[in-house]
Amino acid sequence: MISIDFRDSRPIYEQVKDALRRLIVSGALPPDEKLPSVRELASRLVINPNTIQRAYRELEHEGYIVSVPGKGSFARLRDGGNGERVGALLAKFDDAAEELMYLGVTAQELAARLVKKEGESDDN
């Protein structure tokens, strides 16, 4: 599920956040699926619960999870997402596309990858 690389230069909360985001986006954590409690996940990963709490808080802010007081945190239904997050990801996409085109990848090759990725997500 989630593994922490203590040699990674990224903070641990970011590693947890990125791993959970990947699980949600890939469908491994389906919408409305309950996430482990902060204490449970901290215990499993042998890290401070505040680290997990920060990752959950940021995922909620980005729109990937929803927290229900007294019930826990749940993967959120895909509903078009957080406009701010979409904008940030599109800016990263633009930067990556610009560099790839500089390196010789054509717009058609990029478009083909997008079509392929869309087909893969339709299969999930």
For the chain, which residues make up each domain, given as ranges?
12-75, 83-123
pLDDT of 104 reads 94
Which tokens go with 28?
């491994």
Cα dihedral value 85, 90, 91, 94, nearest 10: 170
Q: List pLDDT tens digits, range 18-59.
A: 999 999 988 899 999 999 999 999 999 999 999 999 999 999
* Average predicted confidence (pLDDT) for the chain: 89
- pTM to 2 decimal places: 0.71
User: Is the predicted pLDDT of residue 81 greater than 60, yes or no?
Assistant: no
| pLDDT at position 83 over 90 | no
Q: What is the CA radius of gyration of the chain?
A: 17
Q: Residue written as tokens 């986006």?
A: 25
Q: How far apart are CA 32 and CA 64, in angstroms?
A: 11
Architecture of domain 12-75: Orthogonal Bundle (1.10)
In DSSP terms, 72 is beta-bridged to: 68
